[in-house]
Amino acid sequence: MSNSKNENDRASMLNYAIIDLLCSRMKRGTGKMRWQKKEKRGGIRVRWTYRLGMCIGMIVVLCSLAACDSPNSTALPIASDTNGHVVSPSKLVLEDTELEERQIVLGYSQLGSESDWRKANTRSIQEAAKEAGIELLFENAEQSQAKQFEAIRRFIEQDVDVIAVSPVIESGWESILLEAKEAGIPVILSDRSVDVSDTSLYVTTIGSDFYEEGQKAGKYVLDKVRNEPGAIKIVELQGTLGSSPSIERGNGFRDVIQARVDLEIIASESADFTLAKGKQVMDAFLKEHGGEIDVLYAHNDDMALGAIEAIEAYGLRPGKDMIIISVDGTRRAFHKMVEGKINAVVECNPLLGPILMQAVSEIISGRSLPKQIVSPESVFTEALAEKEIANRQY
Ligand code: AHR
């Protein structure tokens, strides 16, 4: 991958998302929610009542023009008047004016700070909020879903405009998301997704296609061992159990490698996306399987870095005696690729801040968003690492 190609990729990630967002047409929402909430803000209510009175005629006409249905987008909790009637398009003008008058408040529950990726993700969100003039109420849940629930409840009490959350695991989100919905606060899922039957509980998911990342890792392994006959033994360091990247990266990988029956995952365990646990679990794998291991698939770079320490301590050469592939594409992993100790990394882009802020503004403006906004991502191999390393932003 050339430098300019990578820059293009980053630019196009943002462009795709922004084009997606800007091109998403307004749609009738079921949502009285947001405006019920806004009524609580006294000064704003007076202004709005007046403005709504002035514009109601125009609204009725324009509403019918704006009613549309897009297969990729979802009904958002968009604008309704004080009676709960949807008042879409002309409201945008008013809302833009409104947006100039006060700061949007975003409550964001980050799941932790377990990896370089996560730290870059946090920085990106904090910087983008500042840049966009959005007030960010930031909470770090330190890997605890219970703490994420508490943070979301605090955001509801604080009556924020939008809630964003990076869910630590997939399950168990129904009732807390329902609480946010009932409070009239739209929720954006950032980075990871949730497993809920009612997808109207959130507006959109912004992040990576983790299944595809797993597939890319699988394809790399298949290609790398294509000339090696006989059984290939793989060990897998999974991320946090029950988290969407761990589940999907595992599934995507397995679905691809099954193309060759003699590729076998001989050990698979969670190392929680951390370097320390990556080292510890790899150490245990080596004690059990030693020199039998041909391939290490780590669900993130931090675990691969920890595993490299264990492999070297065991007396093997990472990247030579054992093929190593991981996910994320952090600068530290690139350095290891340059040294030949990691053979390939699948990119997972943490720089979601600008797109998240764009999505927040679009929601506040009453526009609908696609249900999923996915970052385009690459695969980097050791052959390209040296050239690419200067471009890494995290
Ligand atoms: O959810 C994204 C994953 O979480 C990243 O791959 C990993 O490094 C992080 O901790």
Strand partners, 373: 206
Question: Measured in Å, how far apart are the chain's first and last C-alpha atoms?
Answer: 17
Q: What is the pLDDT of residues 305-326, one digit of tens each?
A: 999 999 999 999 999 999 999 9
Q: How many angstroms does the Cα of residue 56 sit away from the middle of ligand 1?
A: 47
Ligand 1 atom with least separation from CA of 192 = 1
Mutate to test the pocket of ligand 1, among 113, 114, 115 (most ligand atoms within 8 A of CB): 115
The mean pLDDT of 171-188, rounded to a whole number, is 98
What is the spatial distance between Cα 50 and Cα 234, in angstroms, rounded to a whole number?
Answer: 67
Residue 201 contacts residue 187 (beta carbons within 8 Å) = yes
95 lines ligand 1 (CB under 6 A): no
pLDDT at residue 73 is higher than 50: no
Looking at 65-79, 181-195, 201-215, which range is the least confident one?
A: 65-79
Give 227-264 pLDDT, tens digit per residue: 999 999 999 999 999 999 999 999 999 999 999 999 99
Ligand 1 pocket check for 375: Cβ under 6 Å: no
Determine if residue 133 is left, alpha or beta; phi over 0 gives left, psi from -120 to 50 gives alpha, anything else beta: left
- Cα dihedral 326/329/331/334 (nearest 10): 60
The pLDDT value given to residue 205: 98
Centroid of ligand 1 to alpha carbon of 327 (angstroms)? 8
Closest CA to 351 of 128, 139, 109, 141: 128
User: Which is more confidently placed, 267 or 2?
Assistant: 267
- Taking the C-alpha atoms of residue 103 and residue 135, their distance in angstroms, rounded to an integer, is 6
CB-ligand 1 contact for 328 (6 Å cutoff) = yes
List the domains of the chain with CATH numbers: 2-99 (no CATH), 105-208+351-374 (3.40.50.2300), 210-348 (3.40.50.2300)
Q: Which of 209, 208, 206 is nearest to 355 (CA)?
A: 206
Q: What is the 307 CA–ligand 1 centroid distance (Å)?
A: 16
